[in-house]
Amino acid sequence: MTGDAEMTPQRIAALKARLDRPVVLVGLMGSGKSTVGRRLAGLLGTGFVDSDTAIEDAAQRSVAEIFEQFGEAHFRDGERRVIARLIEEGHGVIATGGGAFIDADTRQIVLSHAIAVWLDCDVDTLVERTRRRDSRPLLRNGDPRTILARLHAERAPAYAEAPIHIAAGEMPHRQTTLQILEAIERWL
């Protein structure tokens, strides 16, 4: 990262002018997609949406309830449709659920019509962050550290298809956001 001083408002404005598609944040639960996504949208002066929130609004029930009542396959199908709609609507920054980018069809939609950014975190950071909320269906039946380590190993190859990879870890969210801006600038 080149630092705060170099990511000037003028550079951010120039980057925004070059963006012709939404930025979609992917990665495991707890990697900071929603928090960083809000900051990123704020710096870019664009809209932000969390796909899980959009799914809950559309279904009139929580992600956990959808998983429980209909199963993961049903949830992933709805998730794909919602993410495609959000991209089509042109939302500036979209944070996805941790499993969204694992679905091959959803991943193809994102890679074809958005800029995918993988926020990668170490397992210790993920455990600490996910401990704060009890709304994570995949962490309810077992040791969170074991589950997160397994998910990281299983999902990393799919996440790695994102053209931008940010090692988010313990760094402050502002620093992560600036790294994303700089990485998108280089990628474009």
In the predicted model, is pLDDT for residue 157 greater than 90? yes
Report the half-sphere exposure of 129 (CA within 13 A, side-chain side): 19
pLDDT band with cut points at 50, 70 and 90 for residue 133: low
pLDDT band with cut points at 50, 70 and 90 for residue 130: confident
How far, in Å, CA of 188 to CA of 176, rounded?
Answer: 18
CA-nearest of 183, 141, 138 to 162 is 183
Share of the chain above pLDDT 90, in %: 72
Residue type (1 letter), 78: G
In whole angstroms, how far apart are CA 95 and each of 11, 47, 171? 23, 11, 19
How far, in Å, CA of 95 to CA of 157, rounded?
Answer: 19
Long-range Cβ contacts of 4-11 (<8 Å, 24+ apart): 4/174, 4/178, 7/178, 7/181, 7/182, 11/181, 11/185
Supply the DSSP symbol for 168.
-
Mean confidence (pLDDT) of the chain? 90
In the predicted model, is pLDDT for residue 136 greater than 90? no
pLDDT band with cut points at 50, 70 and 90 for residue 6: confident
pLDDT of residue 134: 58
pLDDT digits (tens, 9 = 90+) for 85-109: 999 999 899 999 999 999 999 999 9
CA 168 to mean position of chain CA atoms: 12
Superfamily of domain 4-187: P-loop containing nucleotide triphosphate hydrolases (3.40.50.300)
The pTM assigned to this predicted structure is 0.91
The DSSP string of 18-78 is: H--S-EEEE-STTSSHHHHHHHHHHHHT--EEEHHHHHHHHHTS-HHHHHHHH-HHHHHHH
- The single residue listed with the structure tokens 């899980």 is 52
> 154 is written with which tokens?
């299983």
How far, in Å, CA of 69 to CA of 65, rounded?
Answer: 6
Question: Where are the chain's structural domains?
Answer: 4-187
Contacts of 8 (CB under 8 A, 6+ apart): none
How far, in Å, CA of 65 to CA of 137, rounded?
Answer: 9
pLDDT digits (tens, 9 = 90+) for 19-61: 999 999 999 988 999 999 999 999 999 999 999 999 999 999 9
How far, in Å, CA of 152 to CA of 27, rounded?
Answer: 9
